[in-house]
Amino acid sequence: MKRRTFIKLSAISAAGMVLPVQLQGHAAVKPLLKPKTLITPNADFYILQIGNPVALDAKTWRMGITGLIEKQMTLQFADITAMEAVKAMRTLKCIGDPIGTEQMSNANWKGVRLRDLLEKVEPKPEAKVVVFRCADGYHTAIPLEDAMREETLLAYEMNGVPLPTEHGFPIRLLNPGHYGTKNPKWIVNIQLAAAHESYWEKRGWDPIANVKLATMIGTPNDGEEITGGKVYTVSGAAFDAGNHGGIKKVEVSVDYGQTWEEAKIWAQDTPLAWVLWKWDWHVPEEEDPVEIYARATANSGLIQDEIGIEADPVGATPYHMIDARIVEP
């Protein structure tokens, strides 16, 4: 059996500017599940943006809706909260996340349907995209068609509390099926336009930004020491944002991809949120380095493979791999 050579990403590129946290290996760890709850607590939810979070005041915040529409409009926060509210569970994932990092989290959100607002302003036939301008200078556009989807939301609550400043208070977009780049925070203007080149597209990233089928291994950590002769629970999350019909199964390999064992999906909700999986591994007794792989299969039949390590520019597709070590009890 040949040890696979694999390009390891140590740092991630532009749209994800955070380095993965390398946790130290330690002997005789209790088998944990990571992530350990379907919902990520707000304090643990990943945070990513081009600069510093912007603290906006709901009392003075105004959001214009402008451009190719019949009725220009300026909204206050109370106008948004007075609209019919919807609740939804959604996972966010960064396009620059080379699978094994922390840049994927899941929350329960509350907000309004973007289309309820757009219907009020009456887009003109020439309007093809909806441009979001944000208080930090970020801007991004989505096709009008996507904006009119029932699941496309402007969120103002996250896990039962007002949207935290870091996550876009007072209003952010939740754009189903799309990477974080298409989920702008601190929105101050919505413009209907014929075309728009967004912040990250100018820097070479995918203008479409559909989430790719992805699996991450939460336990073990890279470099962890696993006690031989015992049961260790390999665990993690898988997500396709509904783009391939949702997650069908997750498999784990501890023999360099020769054989795969089906993991148990132990927590799931909508295809627009991740599933959590675990697999109890009866760890051999001998001391040995080990590579652990996990891959997902979507309901469409799509299976992740080892090719495609580059996240840049469209998001990473390969399965996740962890280097660990079996040690004597």
Ligand X SMILES: Nc1nc2c(c(=O)[nH]1)N[C@H]1C(S)=C(S)[C@@H](COP(=O)(O)O)O[C@H]1N2
What is the contact surface with Mo ion in residues (CB under 5 A)?
15, 48, 94, 180
Closest residue to Mo ion, judged by C-beta, is 94
CA distances 233 to 29, 280, 325, Å, are 11, 4, 14
Q: Identify which of residues 180 and 220 has a Cβ nearer to ligand X in the complex.
A: 180
Cβ contacts of 78 within 8 Å, gap of 6 or more:
none
Question: Considering only residues 169, 186, 274, 293, which one is a binding residue for ligand X as defined by CB under 6 A?
Answer: 186
Q: Identify which of residues 75 and 107 has a Cβ nearer to Mo ion in the complex.
A: 107
Residue 134 lies near ligand X (rule: CB under 6 A): yes
Q: Identify which of residues 61 and 138 has a Cβ nearer to Mo ion in the complex.
A: 138
Stretch binding ligand X (CB under 6 A), from 48-56, 72-80, 286-294, 314-322: 48-56
Stretch binding ligand X (CB under 6 A), from 26-34, 175-183, 256-264, 283-291: 175-183
CB burial of 213-241 (b: ≥16 within 10 Å; e: otherwise) equals: bbbbbbbbbbebbbbbeeebbbbbbbbbb
Residue 146's binding partner out of ligand X, Mo ion, none, with CB under 5 to 8 Å set by partner kind: none
Residue 316's binding partner out of Mo ion, ligand X, none, with CB under 5 to 8 Å set by partner kind: none
Question: Considering only residues 48, 193, 265, 327, which one is a binding residue for ligand X as defined by CB under 6 A?
Answer: 48
Distance CA 227, CA 284 (A): 9
Residue 295 lies near ligand X (rule: CB under 6 A): no
Residue 108: how many CB atoms within 10 A of its CB? 18
DSSP string, 242-300: TTTSSEEEEEEESSTTSS-EEPEEEE---TTS-EEEEEEEE--SS-EEEEEEEEEEETT
The helix or strand, by DSSP H or E, that contains position 120, with its residue range, turns out to be helix 114-121
Beta carbon of residue 164, minimum distance to ligand X (angstroms, whole number):
8
Q: Which residues pair with 276 in a beta bridge?
A: 237, 267
The helix or strand, by DSSP H or E, that contains position 116, with its residue range, turns out to be helix 114-121
Beta carbon of residue 145, minimum distance to Mo ion (angstroms, whole number):
22
Residue 50 lies near ligand X (rule: CB under 6 A): yes
Question: Considering only residues 19, 27, 28, 47, which one is a binding residue for ligand X as defined by CB under 6 A?
Answer: 47
Question: Considering only residues 67, 98, 180, 218, which one is a binding residue for ligand X as defined by CB under 6 A?
Answer: 180
CA distances 108 to 84, 115, 255, Å, are 17, 20, 37
Question: Considering only residues 39, 69, 94, 190, which one is a binding residue for ligand X as defined by CB under 6 A?
Answer: 94
Beta carbon of residue 177, minimum distance to ligand X (angstroms, whole number):
14
Distance CA 12, CA 95 (A): 10
Q: Torsion over CA of 99, 267, 248 and 313, rounded to 10 degrees?
A: -20
Residues 5-44 that bind ligand X (CB under 6 A): 15
Site residues (CB under 6 A) for ligand X? 15, 45-50, 92, 94, 134, 136, 138, 167, 180-181, 183-186
